[in-house]
Amino acid sequence: MKKILIINPFGIGDVIFTMTVVEALRHFMPEATLDFLCNERTVGLVRLNTSINRTFVFNRDEYRRDWLQSPLFFFKKLRGFLSLLRREGYDTMLDFSLGREYSFFAWLIGIPSRIGLDFKGRGIFLTHRKKIKGYEAKHVADWQLSLLDNLGVPYRSGSSKLPIKVPPQSQREADEFLKKYGILPADTLIAVAPGGGKSWGKDAVYKQWDATRFAGAVTGLLERKPAKVVLLGDGSENDLLSRVASEIRSRPAIAAGEPIENVCAILLRVKALLCNDGGLLHLANALGVRTVSIFGPVDSRVYGPYGNETPHEVLTQPVPCRPCYRHFRFPPCRYDRRCLDELPVEKAVAALEKMI
């Protein structure tokens, strides 16, 4: 029986793309051990996937702090973590980190087959590699699925739904949370996520449609359809959510910083999600929730909702400079966010109305 360690240290969207690889492996190797190594921000999500046997967390920031405080403690802690992985006796590693550190560690602990994407020659410790300059021309998930050729695993491109199991307790907590805002099970509920793009740091604003436009889209929809609204985001986006809420006449629910299990439970209650290009888009798509998403500098053909199983609509503005994000690089914007700011609110209203 094969024992495979799958590594993706990035955010929610990236991890969900990699979960399509997990599903292909689980379908072809139902008895295999499929373990997943992720970061602290995505561990809650990974543990909800019933196809994954065990989850390991590697917190890079924590290890950096340990190094600065005490190199001796750093090496002792790292050795303990690698010893834990060595005892598992993995025969294969699938590395989606695009770096060299994880494949080096895998070589160090004796994983014989190390498969991954080789970006800028960083795959020197991989035994099987696919050279890439970036994700282009096809979807990220398809790039990652193509690595399964090295294992002789057939796969079906375009399958998006994932076996994410929400605990009953989280479902009850989500119901109670929505009830506080007067939202009942029979109500038509729309979710709105006006933030996202955390991995872009200070440039995240270039992935985010304006808060006033989100509020305008919600208001336009409510003028046509009776519905309730819940605003979603992480804890750092509370001010943004409050700003959007203040411009909506009816009082929306605000869920900022909720555990990922509860976010999944809320999403499973909604008719559709209006959002930017970000992790919540891909989470909703994987749960089978309809989405309307705003894409600015990023190519939605590569990073958009994956597959055709869940209805979705991607909104873009046809300006000649987009998409400008290529080879994992966002160049300085010379046109003052025109790809976002010229996208009309009415376009989002019409798409939302169609989805519900």
Domain ranges of the chain: 3-151, 168-355
Select the CATH number that applies to the domain covering 3-151 from these four: 3.40.50.720, 3.40.50.1970, 3.40.50.150, 3.40.50.2000: 3.40.50.2000
CA distance readout (Å), 303 to 8, 40, 93, 279, 326: 16, 22, 24, 11, 11
**Sheet bearing 272-276, strands edge to edge:** 253-256, 228-233, 189-193, 272-276, 290-294, 312-315
Report the pLDDT value the prediction gives residue 176, as an integer from 0 to 100.
Answer: 96
Determine the angle formed by the axes of helices 101-108 and 71-88, rounding to 10 degrees: 60
Report the pLDDT value the prediction gives residue 160, as an integer from 0 to 100.
Answer: 79
Residues 332 and 322: their CA atoms lie apart, in Å, by: 13
Report the pLDDT value the prediction gives residue 60, as an integer from 0 to 100.
Answer: 87
Residues of the chain with pLDDT under 70: none
Residues 277 and 147: their CA atoms lie apart, in Å, by: 25
Report the pLDDT value the prediction gives residue 132, as an integer from 0 to 100.
Answer: 95
Report the pLDDT value the prediction gives residue 222, as an integer from 0 to 100.
Answer: 95
Report the pLDDT value the prediction gives residue 336, as an integer from 0 to 100.
Answer: 87
Residues 154 and 160: their CA atoms lie apart, in Å, by: 16
The arrangement of secondary structure in 168-355, i.e. its CATH architecture, is: 3-Layer(aba) Sandwich (3.40)
Residues 339 and 331: their CA atoms lie apart, in Å, by: 14
Question: Which residue, among 214, 230, 248, 235, has the nearest Cα to 348 in the 3D structure?
Answer: 214
For strands 128-132 and 113-119, give the pairing.
parallel
